[in-house]
């Protein structure tokens, strides 16, 4: 992946979980609308131990600005759109999430920032672990040192 390149969407069963990947979120669609489904046996790279959501984020706000040492995430834009910038210490990539049936998996070891939230947007985040402050790297220079150690 080159600098700021957005990879193409892949089938969840074919995803390479070692790199950030756009995946299809299972859905059921009929004349009444759509229902996105994530169940305990969904074919994701991790068991879900924590779910949280971001909403009412001002369009000029930047969220995230940290990395995780061990935690995996799946981020879905359930409403509106926002941008996710990722950095593994060597390569930067950019993803625009704007559909509730597409999600971005983020493995450990990626610095992430979320920005450019549209009005009414909401991000749903599935995490592989419960909240653990020791898993976070909140200083970018420390993150770069960690990636090259």
The yes-or-no answer on residue 68 being catalytic is no
Catalytic residue among 66, 94, 102, 115: 66
Q: Specify if 2 maps to a domain.
A: no
Domain ranges, residue 63: 12-148
Q: Specify if 3 maps to a domain.
A: no
- Under a CB-based contact definition with an 8 Å cutoff, are residues 80 and 120 in contact? yes
> What are the pLDDT tens digits along the chain (149 aa)?
344 444 444 455 445 678 898 988 888 999 999 998 887 777 677 888 999 999 999 999 999 999 999 999 999 999 999 999 999 999 999 999 999 999 999 999 999 999 999 999 999 999 999 999 999 999 999 999 999 88
Q: Specify if 5 maps to a domain.
A: no
> For the domain that residue 94 is a member of, what is the CATH number?
2.60.120.10
| pLDDT computed for residue 15 by the predictor | 52
Q: Specify if 22 maps to a domain.
A: yes
Q: Specify if 7 maps to a domain.
A: no
Does the pTM exceed 0.95? no
| pLDDT computed for residue 17 by the predictor | 72
Give how many domains the chain has, as a whole number.
1
For residues 98 and 18, what is the distance between their CA atoms, to the nearest angstrom?
A: 23
> What CA–CA distances, in Å, run from 17 to 14, 104, 108, 141?
9, 11, 10, 25
């Amino acid at each position: 992946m080159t600098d700021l390149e957005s990879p193409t969407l892949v089938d969840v069963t074919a995803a390479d979980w070692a790199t950030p990947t756009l995946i299809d979120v299972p859905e059921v669609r009929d004349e009444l609308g759509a229902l996105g489904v994530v169940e305990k046996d969904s074919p994701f790279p991790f068991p879900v131990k924590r779910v949280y959501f971001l909403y009412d984020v001002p369009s000029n706000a930047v969220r995230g600005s940290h990395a995780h040492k061990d935690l995996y995430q799946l981020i879905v834009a359930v409403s509106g759109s926002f941008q996710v910038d990722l950095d593994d210490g060597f390569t930067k990539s950019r993803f625009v999430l704007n559909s509730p049936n597409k999600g971005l998996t983020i493995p450990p070891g990626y610095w992430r920032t979320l920005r450019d939230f549209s009005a009414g947007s909401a991000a749903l985040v599935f995490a592989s672990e419960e909240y653990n402050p020791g898993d976070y790297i909140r200083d970018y220079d420390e993150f770069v040192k960690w990636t090259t150690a």
